Chains A and B, each alone.
Chain A
Amino acid sequence: MANLKDLRNRITSVQSTQKITKAMKMVAASKLRRAQEAAEAARPYAERMENVLASLASSMVGQIGGPKLLAGTGSTQVQLVVVATSERGLCGGFNTNIIKGARAKIASLIAEGKDVKIVTIGKKGAASLKRDYRSRIIKHFDMTHVKRLAYSDAGPITDYLLASYEAGEFDVCTLFYAKFQSALTQIVTAQQMIPASYDENNVVDLGGAAYDYEPDETEILEELLPRNVGVQLFRALLENAASEQGSRMTAMDSATRNAGDMIDSLRTTYNRTRQSVITNELIEIISGAEAL
C-alpha cells in the first residue's frame, strides 16, 4: 500500500497540474473570443470577393484561354498541398486532425502517381509531416512571431505561392485547415486555391442586365485572382486560429475535469489509508496495555 507521504505528494502534484490546465482554459477562452470575432469580421470580404469572382468567371465560361489562375495549367500532375497548423501543442485533436486529413490526401495522390509537394505553415504540422515526407516538403512558414493575425501576415505566403505557380512549379494547390464551427467542433477542410474554385450559386441575378467592366474582364480577373488567393489564405488562417483556441479550450476543460476526478479518488485512498494507520496504532497500544 502506498504510504501517506507519497499520496500527499501525488495530490499536490495533480492539484498544480489542474491549476495550469485551468489557467490555460481561461486564456484559451478569452483568446477564442477575439479570434472568433476576427474570423467573423473577415467573412464579408471573402464572400463578396467570391461573388464578384463567380459572376466574372461565369461570364468567361466557354471562352478559350483566360488567366492561368482560373483556367489552370491544363495538367494536374504536380500537386501542391499546403498544410496550415498551429505553432503550439496542447490543443486536443486540432493538429492531429488536420494532419490526418492532409496525409490521407497526400497518400491518395501518390497512389495516383502524381508528384506531391508540401508547404507547411506552423511548426506542429511540419514536425509531424517531416517524419514521412521529408523530401517532399519544399517550404515552411513560421508564424511564431505573429501575435494577432493581420492581413499582411498572409502576404509572404501568398507571394510565394503565386511566384512558384507562375514559375510552373505546381499545377494544383490545395489548402488544409480547420474551419471553425464551435468550440466543440472544428471541421478539417481541404480547399482548392489554385486554380480558383467558386460556387455557381453565388452569381447575383442581374435581372437581365449585364455587367459593365472597367477596364475589361481579363484585366479585372488578372488583378482579382491573385488577391483572391491571398484572401482565401488569410481567411483560412483566421479560421485556423479560432479553431485552435476552441480546441484548446475544450481539451483543457476536460483535462481540468479529469484532474478533479483524480484528486477525488486520491483523496479517498489517502483518507482510507490514514484511518487504517490510526486503527493500527490504536490496536498496538491497546494490546500493549492488555499485556501488562
Chain B
Amino acid sequence: MAEKLHFELVSPEKLLMSTDVDMVVVPGVEGDFGVLINHAPVVSTLRTGILEVHNGDTPERLLVRGGFAEVNPEGLTVLAEEALPLADVDRATLEAELKDAEEDVADAKDDAHLAEATKVRNRLVEILGVLDLVA
C-alpha cells in the first residue's frame, strides 16, 4: 500500500502512539468501524472495546475505555481515557480487583463512597466483559 493513514492514540497522561498505519479498527458506540486512508470525516464516541491497529501482518490489539475517535483529512485521532495493550491485560489481576471492588461496594458507608466504589466496579465489569468476548 503506497499511502498510509496517520494514526494518533492519546490518553490524558500522554501521547501513546503516533505512526502511519494501514488500517485501524475502532470500537465505536454504534459498532466497530475500520478507518483507511481518505476516510470521510467522522466524530464518534468509543465504547469499551478492542482497538485494532493493522500495520503489516499481525494486527496490534489494544483495550480502550471511554473517549472519542476523530477522523479528519489529517488522519485519525483516538482520544481514550484508558488504553492498554491487550497482551498486558492480566485477567487474574482484574478479577481480584473486581472482588475487592465488590467488597468496597458492599462496605460503603455513605453515598459518596458508594458512588466511588460503584464506579470502580463498573469499570472492571466493563473491561472483563470485553475480555470475555475476545476469549
Contacts and interface: CB of A to CB of B under 8 A. Distances in A.
Interface of A: 38, 41-42, 44-46, 48-49, 51-52, 55-56, 150-151, 204-207, 209-215, 219-220, 223-224, 227, 230-231, 234
A49 B15 CA distance: 13
Interface of B is mostly: strand
Given A151-B81, A206-B72, 9 more contacts: A38-B13, A44-B14, A52-B70, A55-B43, A204-B73, A207-B73, A211-B72, A213-B42, A224-B45
Contacts of B73: 204-207, 209
A212 B10 contact: no
Contact of A204 (B13, B28, B74): B74
Contacts, number: 86
Contacts of B13: 38, 41-42, 45, 150-151
B41 A211 contact: yes
Contacts of A234: 12
Given A204-B74, A214-B28, A224-B68, A52 B12 contact: no
Interface of A is mostly: helix
A45 B10 contact: yes
Interface string B59-76: 000000011101011100
B29 interface: yes
B68 A215 contact: no
Contacts of B72: 204, 206, 211
Interface of B: 8, 10-15, 28-30, 40-45, 66-68, 70, 72-74, 77, 79, 81
A41 B68 contact: no
B43 A220 contact: yes
Q: By CB atoms of chain A within 10 A, which of B8, B13, B14, B43 has the most? A: B43
Contacts of A215: 29-30, 45
Contacts of B42: 211-214
